[in-house]
A = this chain, B = another copy of it.
Amino acid sequence: MSHSLDSFLRPRSLALIGATERSVWTRAAYANIQALGYTGKVHMVNRRGGTVLGRPAATSASQIGERADTALLMVPSDVLLETFPDLKAAGIKNAVLLSSGYAEAGAQGKQRQAELVATARENEVRLLGPNCLGFVNFVEKAPVWTVPVRGPILPGKIALVSQSGALAGQMSFFAQWQGIGLTYMVSTGNEADIDIAQVIDFLVDDPQTRAIGVFIETIRNPAFFAAAATRALAVRKPIVVLKIGASEVTAKAAQAHTGSLVGDDRVFDAACQRYGMIRVQSLEQLVLTCELLARTGPLGKGGLGVISMSGGMCEIGADRSVIENVPLPALSEETVATLKAMMPDFGTPHNPLDTTGAVMLKPELFGAVIDAMAADSNFSALLAIADVPSDQYDNNPLSISMAEHVAAALNRAPVPGIVSSHLARPFTALTQTLVENSSISYLPCGIHAAVAAFGRAFHWSRGIERGLAPAAPHRPIDGVKPRSEREVLGYLSGKGVPVIPMRLAQSAAEAAEFAASLDAPAVLKIASPDIPHKTEVGGVALNLAGQEQVVSAYETMMAKVRQAKPQAHLDGIVVSPMRAGGVELFVGTMRDPQWGPSIAVGLGGIWVEALKDTSLRLLPVNEADVFEMLGELRGAKLLDGFRGAPAVDRLAVAKAVVSIGNAALCLGPELVSLEINPILVQGARVECLDALAVWDDVTAAER
């Protein structure tokens, strides 16, 4: 079954509507068509007919005489809308619109865009843009792109999608200068119709595309984006994302407490985590990470073996691997023995492996050393550091021979291998020739960028190993709105969340009876919908041991509260066991307008307030997610038992957090946030001590 964008992005024929030789857009678009060697039919359309760039022009699309798959619209904006009925008449179903002045240009522009979309829909035309640069299908050499495409066209494995046309072009240039070919480059602009998610969805099915790089300013349809990302993950096709917005003021309307802890940007991080997308920090990294994974595929168990003839490079590689979380396993004993036999002058070989300058005298040694590393099952990928010449200064037989030996060894290795230059360096036509001659899998990006890309590749591959994210199960909404602390804790308890025992006593005798059944001294708290601040009115009594103390506290409390708040309705007094010691955790759920409900876990009390030391995931989460979240906390050491406190039972905590997340989902979309602070953990005993639910029918002022 073909994808809905198939005829759009794989056009067998093109129409340039409004083509004219005076237009730089027409000339550039046609030059690209010629330069790439597009083999489909190209139709020129100009109201006045005649010829354009040597080709006869039809006076309208319907005058072409046969259907074209995709049209590039270059007509003046005042007659643009009239073009659509003509497209419909001509059977053209796909159009690229470059013009700016639409939704990006204020209220008037938004109105124009709405009219545009309505007209396009009415005439059954899919639209890419406006305010974009078009697309290039490098696989089938079909460009609808209005600035010059940089040649030569290299065979490619990665696709680039960008809301910014300029940055798509810049990334394609950078790819070229890295010796990296592309399959597709698509600029989606204002996304009046086709958005990034739809293009990703198309690319997931494209057999040539092995990785998808995306530059995002805004995600317009998070649900479809998530669905496309989930499909990509299912077929192990990495999506590498640069999304701007880290510098945005992330404070949201005060959603209880959680809102101030997690900004939009962290929610997007959580979405990347959930949907297995790789987030990068520069456009260069975006291209390099895509290409690395397109070449290696998901990395297996084990780590990276690094080989360089420079000791300094080895040490830089070791440092950077720590920073970028690249696993650098030790060499096996067999490998150590093999290497020692090969190079007696070595000290003790280790990873990264310093071949020493010996390989300058014996380039074949570089290959032999790689063979030895490749045979070591500790490694699931290899990175060799070597420069492929770029000009007359470095085009020497030694460098070429070295590249050939390195390439041959990596190409026969059972694990993927990449060669990176020492530092970032040029990739010239000479380099291209040498790379092709030796079939070397080379990136001239330097070790710093290469290790960074490997860090992301390993992280992504480990995520895949752990299994796909849990699909959001259908959860029936319970249709209740617990509000008071007691109601919320009661609701949570009903959903399987461990909550501190609470019984509502309506007499001193009852309180004493409840207290006697506890395994600890008692705490009494006044229960009243009218008393939010219990302590101020004497509504809390702690650490009560024995019947006498409980009875006395009950009576004193009732008297004090009645005196302080004569109008308050009193439900009674809640009796709970007294807790002390242990580790306090914080769990909060919140609802992001784009990505839906998420959950944050952190150390409670001042930790969460002063350090904002929390880990965030989209809901639902499973126990493995919570384990990972706890491990991400900077204060994680506190969970392992501290100053005599028992270690936290992480499984018990995980079960509680999973249940809280599920309970929040069952409370439905009107729940703004649900906060449990603290959850007290004493070894295997996990208990929610306090809870707060915020509903969207409560104004910020009321909170």
Chain A residues within CB distance 8 Å of chain B: 100, 105-106, 148, 150-151, 162-164, 166-167, 170-171, 173-174, 177, 215, 217, 242, 244-247, 281-284, 309-313, 315-316, 318-323, 345, 347, 357, 393-394, 422-426, 446, 448, 606, 609-611, 634-635, 637-638, 642-643
Out of B174, B281, B320, B423, which one reaches A423, CB within 8 Å? B174
Q: Which residues of chain B are near A320, meaning CB under 8 Å? A: 281-282
- Is there contact, CB below 8 Å, between B606 and A424? no
Out of B309, B319, B393, B609, which one reaches A245, CB within 8 Å? B319
Q: Give the docked Cα–Cα distance between A422 and B100 (Å).
A: 22
* Known pairs A148-B393, A423-B283; A642 contacts B606 (CB<8 A): yes
Enumerate the 10 nearest inter-chain pairs by beta-carbon distance, A residue then B residue, closest first.
Answer: A164-B312, A282-B448, A244-B315, A247-B322, A246-B319, A610-B637, A174-B423, A167-B312, A166-B310, A247-B318
- Is there contact, CB below 8 Å, between A177 and B642? no
* Known pairs A315-B244, A606-B642, A635-B610; A283 contacts B448 (CB<8 A): yes
Q: Give the docked Cα–Cα distance between A634 and B638 (Å).
A: 16
How near does chain B come to A471, taking the closest CB pair, in angstroms? Answer: 32
Q: Give the docked Cα–Cα distance between A610 and B635 (Å).
A: 6
Q: Which residues of chain B are near A311, meaning CB under 8 Å? A: 164
Residue of B nearest to A421 (CB): B170
- Is there contact, CB below 8 Å, between A642 and B281? no
Out of B247, B394, B446, B448, which one reaches A319, CB within 8 Å? B247
Write 8 A-B pairs (CB below 8 A) sorted by A numbering. Answer: A164-B310, A167-B310, A177-B424, A217-B312, A244-B312, A282-B320, A606-B643, A610-B642
* Known pairs A164-B312, A312-B166, A312-B167; A642 contacts B425 (CB<8 A): no
Q: Which residues of chain B are near A638, meaning CB under 8 Å? A: 606, 610
Q: Which residues of chain B are near A345, meaning CB under 8 Å? A: 105
Q: Give the docked Cα–Cα distance between A149 and B330 (Å).
A: 37
Residue of B nearest to A100 (CB): B357
* Known pairs A100-B357, A173-B425, A637-B610; A284 contacts B446 (CB<8 A): yes
- Is there contact, CB below 8 Å, between B606 and A177? no
Q: Give the docked Cα–Cα distance between A446 and B174 (Å).
A: 10
Other 15 A-B pairs with CB < 8 A, given A246-B322, A283-B448: A166-B422, A170-B423, A171-B423, A173-B423, A177-B424, A242-B316, A244-B319, A245-B319, A247-B319, A282-B446, A284-B448, A609-B642, A610-B637, A610-B642, A611-B611
Out of B284, B323, B634, which one reaches A424, CB within 8 Å? B284
Q: Which residues of chain B are near A448, meaning CB under 8 Å? A: 281-284
Q: Which residues of chain B are near A150, meaning CB under 8 Å? A: 393-394
Q: Which residues of chain B are near A171, meaning CB under 8 Å? A: 423
How near does chain B come to A625, taking the closest CB pair, in angstroms? Answer: 23
Q: Which residues of chain B are near A424, meaning CB under 8 Å? A: 174, 177, 284, 424
Q: Give the docked Cα–Cα distance between A422 and B287 (Å).
A: 14
Q: Give the docked Cα–Cα distance between A166 and B387 (Å).
A: 12
How near does chain B come to A185, taking the closest CB pair, in angstroms? Answer: 14
* Known pairs A217-B315, A357-B100, A638-B606; A393 contacts B151 (CB<8 A): yes
Residue of B nearest to A634 (CB): B611
- Is there contact, CB below 8 Å, between B312 and A281? no
- Is there contact, CB below 8 Å, between B316 and A244? yes
Residue of B nearest to A311 (CB): B164
- Residue in A151, A217, A316, A322 whose Cβ sees the most chain B Cβ within 10 Å: A316
How near does chain B come to A213, taking the closest CB pair, in angstroms? Answer: 13
Q: Give the docked Cα–Cα distance between A674 and B656 (Å).
A: 44
How near does chain B come to A694, taking the closest CB pair, in angstroms? Answer: 21
Residue of B nearest to A422 (CB): B170
Out of B167, B347, B609, which one reaches A313, CB within 8 Å? B167
- Residue in A150, A283, A311, A610 whose Cβ sees the most chain B Cβ within 10 Å: A610
Q: Which residues of chain B are near A606, meaning CB under 8 Å? A: 638, 642-643
Q: Which residues of chain B are near A357, meaning CB under 8 Å? A: 100
Q: Which residues of chain B are near A611, meaning CB under 8 Å? A: 611, 634-635, 637
Q: Give the docked Cα–Cα distance between A168 and B208 (Å).
A: 41
Q: Give the docked Cα–Cα distance between A164 and B106 (Å).
A: 57
Q: Which residues of chain B are near A422, meaning CB under 8 Å? A: 166-167, 170
Q: Which residues of chain B are near A347, meaning CB under 8 Å? A: 106
How near does chain B come to A601, taking the closest CB pair, in angstroms? Answer: 16
Out of B151, B281, B315, which one reaches A323, CB within 8 Å? B281
How near does chain B come to A1, taking the closest CB pair, in angstroms? Answer: 35
Q: Give the docked Cα–Cα distance between A611 and B345 (Å).
A: 43
Q: Give the docked Cα–Cα distance between A610 and B642 (Å).
A: 8
How near does chain B come to A615, taking the closest CB pair, in angstroms? Answer: 15
Residue of B nearest to A169 (CB): B422
Q: Give the docked Cα–Cα distance between A282 and B423 (Å).
A: 9
Q: Give the docked Cα–Cα distance between A189 and B448 (Å).
A: 23
Q: Which residues of chain B are near A322, meaning CB under 8 Å? A: 246-247
How near does chain B come to A104, taking the closest CB pair, in angstroms? Answer: 8
- Is there contact, CB below 8 Å, between A215 and B312? yes
Q: Which residues of chain B are near A245, meaning CB under 8 Å? A: 315, 319
